[in-house]
């Protein structure tokens, strides 16, 4: 089945530094990747949608200059948290777009998530 | 207005008993899909079950079934014969429209705790 590999699973960084999170589709081409953020004890909130070869579409309230998304190939999408601050500490998880409605019946494929802690 | 509402922040169930997790949704689209995911403490999102808006029968996947009441806009998850490993967060989600690649909108989640 479709697998999305997400790395790193956990990262601790100092305030002011940047962190890159990668999501790689291992056995299929992910034309679209969704990036979600989940604060403790809360639900998943969509941050942005990235399409291969084009600029990402950000949800309202998400700073595109702070959360840089690159989707340069059909198998790799990255999220870079720039100048991270403690309030950016969260669980970040990516999800690949199903290619067909029939495929969607089997669920969207999620990465395993990245727990970011900014100290 | 919330698109997906899960009114039970937390629930307990005795091992081997059945439990129903509530989900109501709001959409004006005729074509949509409803999903349930399980999220254990590790954080991964595990797909459980899917119901399409045009599906006439309720979806079932092993111990999971979806009680789809279209007129009421509800899509409750029923877990039969609960197991200790079922303890986790459960999220209801919706894809609006006919496009396979449309985003998912998630409810607030329900924490299920299975008692031995």
Q: A21-71, pLDDT tens digit by residue?
A: 999 998 888 889 999 999 998 999 999 999 888 889 999 999 999 999 999
Write the DSSP string, A54-103: S--EEPTT--TTTEEEEEEETTEEEEEE-S--GGG-EEEEEEEPPSSHHH
What mean pLDDT is predicted for residues B79-103?
92
Query: What is the least distance, in Å, from the CA of B20 to any CA of chain A?
Result: 19
Query: What is the least distance, in Å, from the CA of A97 to any CA of chain B?
Result: 5
Query: pLDDT tens digit string along A90-103?
Result: 999 999 987 776 77
Inter-chain residue contact B44 with A97, CB threshold 8 Å: no
Task: Name every chain A residue with its beta carbon within 8 A of the beta carbon of B103.
Answer: 34, 46, 49
What mean pLDDT is predicted for residues A1-10?
91
Report yes or no: A70 at the B interface, CB cutoff 8 Å.
no
Q: What confidence score (pLDDT) does residue A5 get? A: 95
């Amino acid at each position: 089945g479709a697998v999305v590999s997400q790395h790193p699973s956990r990262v601790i960084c100092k305030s002011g530094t940047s962190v890159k999170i990668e999501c790689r589709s291992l056995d299929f081409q992910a034309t679209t990747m969704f990036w979600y953020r989940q604060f403790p004890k809360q639900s998943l909130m969509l941050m942005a949608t990235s399409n291969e070869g084009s600029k990402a579409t950000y949800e309202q309230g998400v700073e595109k200059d702070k959360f840089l998304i690159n989707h340069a190939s059909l198998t790799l999408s990255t999220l870079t948290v720039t100048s991270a601050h403690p309030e950016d500490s969260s669980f970040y998880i990516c999800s690949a777009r199903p290619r067909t409605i029939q495929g969607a019946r089997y669920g969207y494929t999620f990465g395993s998530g990245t727990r970011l802690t900014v100290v | 207005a919330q698109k997906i509402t899960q009114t039970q922040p937390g629930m307990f169930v005795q091992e081997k008993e059945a439990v129903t997790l509530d989900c109501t949704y709001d959409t004006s689209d005729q074509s949509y899909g409803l999903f349930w995911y399980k999220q254990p403490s590790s954080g991964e999102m595990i797909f459980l079950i899917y119901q399409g808006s045009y599906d006439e029968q309720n979806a079932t996947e092993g111990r999971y079934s979806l009680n789809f009441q279209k007129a009421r806009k509800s899509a409750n998850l029923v877990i039969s014969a609960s197991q200790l490993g079922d303890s986790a967060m459960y999220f209801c989600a919706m894809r609006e429209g006919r496009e396979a690649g449309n985003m998912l909108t998630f409810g607030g989640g329900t924490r299920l705790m299975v008692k031995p």
